Structures are given as C-alpha cells and as structure tokens.
C-alpha cells in the first residue's frame, strides 16, 4: 500500500490517501468492499485505523466504470 498526505487549497485540513501498489492489491481492496458492510483499514505499521462503510460500493463501482482506485 502507498500512502500520501494531501492539503487542498479550498479546505483547512490535510487528508491521507492510500492505494494498492499492484493489480492484485487493488483487486483485494475492491473485493473487500464488495463482500463486507464495513471495511477496517490500518494505515502503516504505527498508524491509526479507520472503519469505512461499504454500503452502496458495488453499485457506485459498477456505475463509475470500475477503475476509481
């Protein structure tokens, strides 16, 4: 997984982005969101963790062309 911290001109906060490094990793992420209601994501070895709702993911993924990651 690759992580980056971004700050946007039109907001007052910083945001962490994360994504897969490989096609297999991306497929794993997609499958987790398709199979589960909530996906638990840990950031880095010493980072925090967040639960993401997967509600509506499959519909959004299919409507978005399937390459949003």
Instruction: Using the predicted structure, report yes or no on whether residue 62 has a pLDDT greater than 60.
Output: yes
C-beta separation of 2 from 19 below 8 A:
yes
Whole-number Å distance between alpha carbons of 22 and 15: 22
* Tens of pLDDT, residues 2-49: 777 888 878 777 777 778 999 999 999 999 999 999 999 887 778 788
Instruction: Using the predicted structure, report yes or no on whether residue 68 has a pLDDT greater than 70.
Output: no
Res 30: pLDDT: 93
Res 18: pLDDT: 79
Whole-number Å distance between alpha carbons of 31 and 28: 5
Instruction: Using the predicted structure, report yes or no on whether residue 66 has a pLDDT greater than 70.
Output: no
> What pTM did the predictor assign?
0.72
């Amino acid at each position: 997984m690759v992580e980056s911290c971004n700050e946007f001109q039109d907001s007052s906060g910083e945001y962490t982005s994360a994504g897969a490094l490989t096609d297999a990793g991306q497929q794993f992420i997609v499958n987790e969101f398709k199979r589960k209601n909530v996906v638990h994501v840990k950031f880095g070895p010493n980072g925090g963790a967040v639960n993401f709702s997967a509600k509506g993911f499959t519909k959004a993924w299919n409507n978005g062309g399937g390459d949003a990651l």
